[in-house]
A and B are shown apart, each in its own frame.
Chain A
Amino acid sequence: MKSRIKIMGATALLSVVLTGTVIAQVGKPFIHDPSTIMECNGKYYTFGTGGGGLISEDGWTWNSGAVRPGGGAAPDAIKIGDRYLVVYGSTGGGLGGGHDGRINTMWNKTLDPKSPDFKFSEPIVVASSENMEDCDAIDPGLLLDPTDGRLWLSYGTYFGFIRLVELDPKTGKRVEGNKAINIAIDCEATDLMYRDGWYYLLGTHGTCCDGANSTYNIVVGRSRKVTGPYLDNMGRDMLEGGGKMVVAAGGRVTGPGHFGRLIIGDGVEKMSCHYEADLDQSGRSVLAIRPLLWKNGWPVAGDNFKEGTYEIESERRGYALELVVDFTRMAGGMRGFGRNTDEPVKPVPSQELADVIKTWPTGNIGIRIGDYMFRPHQKWTITAVPDAGGYPGGPYYKIVIAGTDRALAATAEAEVISVPSFTGAPEQLWRIDQLTDGTYRIMPKIVPNSKEKLALVSSGDSTPTLAKFDMNSDNSKWNFKAH
């Protein structure tokens, strides 16, 4: 956290849907230093600097309303058992003096401020800094080590070292006799995570709190031990300023900072952060949720789905999702061998929708997967559906044949078809999540007459269906290719 951000009551800017754009969270997602997103009784919560935070019903539309007492800066949160542990710096740190810092933990059974069980325990100081020592005790991040159940806290800013201490996961207090360890310099707003035998230290580098000019970015190092050393991809210790980029500015947003990891399910991970400035939202600091990808053992931010017209390619064999219609041959066959090579070269026009649509049935049309030939029955235009809700990192989309309103839909038999017109029915709404390996999961919002959460999968090379998502099978994975 760097500066105190007022959650302001301005009217939300509902993102204008344009082809090829990435849409930020909607609602009033204005926050600085968001804590790791917590799910509690079906709602999502994140806390920010200055107190309070955001609530979302679906992970897509965010508004103020979360309650965190204590003010101060840059909280984090973790669920341990059936309770939530919230940690925050009760001071603000800062270079104008006042490096005396204190980090506090407190418990709550629920994060829903309307619940009768909503009551924070008294805050407990678990780490501190004083005077001009080489540390600012603010910007805490929590990790519950899945290998042994130990609870770790990293904290600190550019002022000296990032430090690591151990907490008692039962009490939220500092483990008695525990001594802080220096694990990094040159960053702030750190967080820790564990995956496949590696501990990862995420830090925010660059310049904070300067709006569109903020150079904040998130870097990472990793270690086989939670206590370090945390090395980057060049083998450089984070105590030497090392760090591999996870996410930097892009599009029209600057200054990603304050990493948090949200595991949705097997193969579906998200990262939260704030952007220092969203130029489409008055340059304000906003919550961001992006896919979290893993490449060669390193985390990297994926890209939220961009609206556009695509081939939808099955990862299984590389065939493309298409309508079950006659393959219409294009004019011109193969030129014979031995022809005059000096003949003028001229382009051959692509097959267009108008060339073929009259041959298509007008009612429902089945869906299959076939060789991609960039034909009209294989090109899908995908756009967000306003007011249809969403999920962490995205809105629901409609998927229609380019140039038409013919929409991909789930059936009560757990199959997929296309319907002549998009009606907005929930079985015509699709959730698109980028997976940790960079491919995508595609899921209908509902399967009619079913409570099962099913995904679009390849049951054969050429046959799609709806079935349970399996991260270990390429049947469940898709790619969007813009040609």
Chain B
Amino acid sequence: MKHKTLLLAVNFVILGGLGLQGYSATPKGKMSSTAKSDTTRSISPYFTPATALKKTPDSKGFIRRWSLLEPISKPNRGNTVFVDSYIRTAFATEYFPNQFTIVPKDGEKVKVGEQELTWHALESTNYNVKLFRFAYGLRKQYYGVIFWAVTVVNSPQEMKNVRMAVGSNSASMWWLNGKEAVILSGDRRMVVDDCVSPRLTLNKGKNVIRGAVINGPGMSDFCVRFLNEKGEPIKNLTISYE
């Protein structure tokens, strides 16, 4: 349901059986869960602070440790404007210095027009990074926004012919070591392995992944993993945020 319709004066009952936590996937891949109410305005059910502890992709290869920049205001009343040319222009625009090279530190601030925005080094409790909850929990603007995300993947050896697989809500664009890897245009919902890059090479050692997600109204989120030539998730990586 995308359009607000009439709120009718019908008596309602708040059902008593609903708890107070967000859904989270278990590491074993069991995903069905009892729904829980999640009306508290906090990022805590969805994120924990990133640490220096060793962190690998999860059991399905999803990368959960990211530095996220508080949302840049980019008002759009709808998401159908996110055609390829629009998002290429939107993501080519420089909003803050070193936008395409920065590997931010936790708490680092950038200036975007009148906005002063902070980078947050976080670990997602879900396979998908819930940007809407990030913004909502921090009491930031959550519709009509651009999010920037950066993480560093450490590979034990050079890996050729890998693909970066991304799902995002809504449109997004992703870079590996400064080169465009994959673009997701249009009014998209986050679907696992929705778009994948051409064959890429992960360098031995550090590799910087950078992404930008744009959304009008809707619940922004993304998920990223690498796939090998057989389409299997790559898990023998470590992830740091700086």
The SS class assigned to the A binding surface is loop
B22 interface hit (Cβ, 8 Å) = yes
The verdict on A183 contacting B37 (CB below 8 Å), with A4-B6, A178-B17 known, is no
Contacts of A243 on B, CB cut-off 8 Å? 191
How far is A240 from B189 in the complex, measured between Cα atoms in Å?
10
A87 interface hit (Cβ, 8 Å) = no
B32 touches A227 (CB 8 A): yes
Contacts of A97 on B, CB cut-off 8 Å? 4
Contacts of B4 on A, CB cut-off 8 Å? 92-98
Which of B1, B31, B34, B167 is most buried by chain A, counting CB atoms within 10 A of its CB?
Answer: B1
A90 touches B10 (CB 8 A): yes
How far is A98 from B223 in the complex, measured between Cα atoms in Å?
27
A90 touches B218 (CB 8 A): no
Residue interface bits A238-249, CB-to-B below 8 A is 1, else 0? 011111000000
How far is A435 from B37 in the complex, measured between Cα atoms in Å?
44
Shortest A402–chain B CB gap in Å is 45
| Residue ID in chain A nearest B217 by CB atoms | A95
Contacts of A131 on B, CB cut-off 8 Å? 39
The verdict on A213 contacting B80 (CB below 8 Å), with A3-B3, A96-B217, A205-B189 known, is yes
A130 touches B14 (CB 8 A): yes
The contact of B31 among A135, A158, A186, A240, by CB within 8 Å, is A240
How far is A92 from B192 in the complex, measured between Cα atoms in Å?
29
B92 interface hit (Cβ, 8 Å) = no
A209 interface hit (Cβ, 8 Å) = yes
Residue interface bits A92-126, CB-to-B below 8 A is 1, else 0? 11111110101010000000000000000001010
Shortest B51–chain A CB gap in Å is 26
How far is A134 from B31 in the complex, measured between Cα atoms in Å?
15
A182 interface hit (Cβ, 8 Å) = yes
How far is A423 from B99 in the complex, measured between Cα atoms in Å?
76
How far is A357 from B18 in the complex, measured between Cα atoms in Å?
76
| Residue ID in chain A nearest B3 by CB atoms | A3
Which of A174, A185, A188, A243 is most buried by chain B, counting CB atoms within 10 A of its CB?
Answer: A185
Contacts of A210 on B, CB cut-off 8 Å? 80
The contact of B10 among A74, A102, A178, by CB within 8 Å, is A102
**Can you give 22 contacting A-B residue pairs, CB < 8 Å?**
A3-B5, A90-B10, A92-B4, A92-B7, A93-B4, A95-B143, A95-B217, A95-B218, A96-B217, A130-B14, A132-B39, A133-B39, A135-B35, A158-B1, A159-B218, A159-B219, A188-B1, A208-B2, A210-B80, A215-B187, A240-B192, A241-B194
Binding site for A on B (CB under 8 A): 1-8, 10-15, 17-19, 22-23, 25, 30-35, 37-39, 41, 79-80, 127, 136, 143, 167, 169, 186-187, 189-194, 217-219, 223
Binding site for B on A (CB under 8 A): 1-4, 49-50, 70-74, 90-98, 100, 102, 104, 123, 125, 127-128, 130-136, 138-139, 157-161, 163, 174, 177-183, 185-188, 205-210, 213, 215, 227-229, 236-237, 239-243
